[in-house]
Structure 1
């Protein structure tokens, strides 16, 4: 990804001084690194890569995951599920080329793992790496100054504990590093710098016992995850600190076992950024309705993000992101999963980013190995997320799960 100075200024001043990802757009549609249309009233945050769906299973179901069947990638969606995974331990590696409609050297990698200490406790961890490609710094004459590779990294550590045989809670601590600027000095005034910060998550998961559904065994599950609760950050010394993408994810899932070989799951997630809605401003840049986010604390910002928008209740409802998906599993006569097919849909209001897409996915399991693949099909033309692929390689160790062994303390 090679940028001359004029385009560099357009991209990075907006990125570093305003701390929003409003770059790499086309004349018809400005698109952020989340694939949003940022020409409308989009809620902008720093380090939005924290909310990108990292794994192929959830991506194939429209980015649902807070209440789906527990697996190793619960470290992102809902760490409270870790203690319910039917294996004692495991890890997974996920990879996705990113925004290939614009560039060919951006990607997201995600390494996750878990271990069940006993039948009531589990720990998990993950490492997320966002590679934004290579950039060449040039002066006004086009002479090369240096090469730079912007990157973002997050490391998570989670602890999950059962409160009963159906309910669990989890807490997660996260370290965040984002280096997008290579310590630039813009206009001899604004000095850019990397971000080093932290955040925490709080999550819950409930899974029912088997219930009868027209003569078929079924289960209901639901959960929530409040993620990325942390301090405001800045890429520069201009004192304009920005919120990180604190997010409330709430959802449920219904699984029905047709027979000993076939089962279906339908899941629904609702997402709401707990970040203030941008204020309404006049042609002089003065706020005419709403609060200046720079004057709000983290707690005030979370409350405002949940309850208030300058456009009233209708605008607040527009900020809800809806994800829903179906998953089918075929199992062998011993109850081991072999093959899955997935279909999903993600919806974001056209005034709040306009990410609307279908997704499809496939999954395969053999012994301790698993492979998941997902593909995005946008509803909106010229969407930067078009043709996005995700791959996940999973290793689940067959040692009997502590979560399913009541004799183990």
Structure 2
């Protein structure tokens, strides 16, 4: 018997994060939610791993896999970090989360890097998701006290140029998710923090391109992030996927003169997690089972698969076939204008298919740099009224050192 506190909180997260595109939810609930073809949202545990953490890229519609490298490259594409121009840098980002619904949730992100030589760099990152206070109860409603659910991930990155234009990066991180603390229900079931690990691999290519008398840089990137085992909060039989993610994109920057430049960037993004299948139902609408008590799949694939099978099978397991697979790709487009590397204006747009979460929003951002210190700010404007992500703010503070 599962602890009601865990199930209640994870149900709440489903509502909240489905509006944000991701969710943490028990496996049997994912199966039920996947029966509506108009709302077949892919859900995972620890969704905070895919939140856009910094103000620069969130101000550009959540693009980032092919933009110019900065201190936050480890999140978007570890392959970019080897191309960073500065020798040492740090970034601290903070965002009040879902401020339209609650006032005590937030996302914090600390990252840094150090160039080893002209061809390689190390990086580190730490992200912390504070989910505020909740009231815990057991299976019969008895109060178990208040608790502050929180997730944390700590990781490191190594990035290296394989040629003058091409780079490869690898990241690894430890993931700790504490939704309820160590509590037990009256039936003896015990909840515990979930623990997992994740790895990333990123590729980045950039090349100078001239259009007429204007010089510029074209780049592309691809990354698979959060490759790791499933996570559990109570038993080895109840496992949830972590949000393994595939991102690919391109960017082009053009310099109008020595101080004015503009960048256009486009990303495509997809969760590499099994799509909930469609199950057979009985005449009364309940889910049908075989002689062993297992649910009968009508369309799609069994979501209970090994890591590699679940990752690569996610490109061909949707119940509605190829058209649904295409709907699982999110699209991000962003623009960044810079003046003398001291001032930046940004805007962007993010689109997610309505059947896969329905996030659609515009973003805008502002950046300023004074000597070694930079400040970035972003603001989110959803297309849907009364959306919980409305008015999301992100703030980033950067510090860089360049020996040149």
1:81 and 1:160 in contact (8 A); partners too:
yes
Residues 144 and 22 of structure 1: CA distance in aligned 2, closer, same or farther (over 3 Å): same
For 1:219-258, what aligned pairs fall within 5 Å after superposition?
219-237=217-235, 239-258=237-256
Deviations 1:143-180 (A, max 9, x none): 86422111100011000011111111011111000000
For 1:296-311, what aligned pairs fall within 5 Å after superposition?
296-311=305-320
Partner secondary structure for residue 308 of structure 2? helix
1:97 and 1:107 in contact (8 A); partners too:
yes
Partner of 1:22: 14
Residues 259 and 153 of structure 1: CA distance in aligned 2, closer, same or farther (over 3 Å): same
1:21 and 1:33 in contact (8 A); partners too:
no
Partner of 2:299: 289
Residues 188 and 144 of structure 1: CA distance in aligned 2, closer, same or farther (over 3 Å): closer
1:15 and 1:23 in contact (8 A); partners too:
no
Distance 2:150 2:142 in 1: 24
Residue 328 of structure 1 and its aligned partner are, at CA, apart by 0.1
Partner secondary structure for residue 259 of structure 1? coil
Distance 1:154 1:389 in 2: 22
1:35 and 1:384 in contact (8 A); partners too:
no
Partner of 1:65: 64
Partner of 2:358: 354
Q: Scaled by the length of structure 2, what TM-score is found? A: 0.88
Q: Scaled by the length of structure 1, what TM-score is found? A: 0.87
Residues 347 and 277 of structure 1: CA distance in aligned 2, closer, same or farther (over 3 Å): same
Partner of 2:27: none
For 1:131-142, what aligned pairs fall within 5 Å after superposition?
131-137=130-136
Residue 12 of structure 1 and its aligned partner are, at CA, apart by 3.5
For 1:51-90, what aligned pairs fall within 5 Å after superposition?
51-90=50-89
Residue 382 of structure 1 and its aligned partner are, at CA, apart by 2.1
Task: Structure 2 unaligned segments of length 5 or more: list them.
Answer: 25-32, 288-294
1:66 and 1:225 in contact (8 A); partners too:
yes
Task: Structure 1 unaligned segments of length 5 or more: list them.
Answer: 1-7, 332-336, 401-409
Partner of 1:340: 344
- With 301-310 and 141-150 compared, the bigger mean Cα shift is at 141-150
Partner secondary structure for residue 57 of structure 1? helix
For 1:9-408, what aligned pairs fall within 5 Å after superposition?
9=4, 12-13=6-7, 15=9, 21-24=13-16, 31=19, 34=22, 40-137=39-136, 145-186=144-185, 188=187, 190-209=189-208, 211-237=209-235, 239-281=237-279, 282=281, 283-285=285-287, 286=295, 287-294=297-304, 296-331=305-340, 337-400=341-404
Distance 1:140 1:160 in 2: 48
Distance 2:238 2:195 in 1: 16
Distance 2:142 2:278 in 1: 41
Residues 67 and 196 of structure 1: CA distance in aligned 2, closer, same or farther (over 3 Å): same
Deviations 1:253-310 (A, max 9, x none): 000001111000000010011111100123322432122312x101110111122311
Count of residues in Structure 1 that have an aligned counterpart in Structure 2: 378
What is the root-mean-square deviation in Å for CA atoms of aligned residues? 2.3
Partner secondary structure for residue 307 of structure 1? coil
Residues 249 and 105 of structure 1: CA distance in aligned 2, closer, same or farther (over 3 Å): same
Deviations 1:334-391 (A, max 9, x none): xxx1100001000000000001000000000110000000000001122110000000
Residue 191 of structure 1 and its aligned partner are, at CA, apart by 2.5
2:139 and 2:186 in contact (8 A); partners too:
no
Partner secondary structure for residue 13 of structure 2? coil
Residue 35 of structure 1 and its aligned partner are, at CA, apart by 8.6
Residues 347 and 76 of structure 1: CA distance in aligned 2, closer, same or farther (over 3 Å): same
Deviations 1:188-228 (A, max 9, x none): 1542211111011010111102x211321111001111000
Residues 33 and 377 of structure 1: CA distance in aligned 2, closer, same or farther (over 3 Å): same
Distance 1:197 1:272 in 2: 21
Residue 54 of structure 1 and its aligned partner are, at CA, apart by 0.2
Distance 2:141 2:130 in 1: 25
Residues 308 and 225 of structure 1: CA distance in aligned 2, closer, same or farther (over 3 Å): same
Residues 24 and 76 of structure 1: CA distance in aligned 2, closer, same or farther (over 3 Å): closer
Distance 1:240 1:24 in 2: 22
2:136 and 2:180 in contact (8 A); partners too:
no
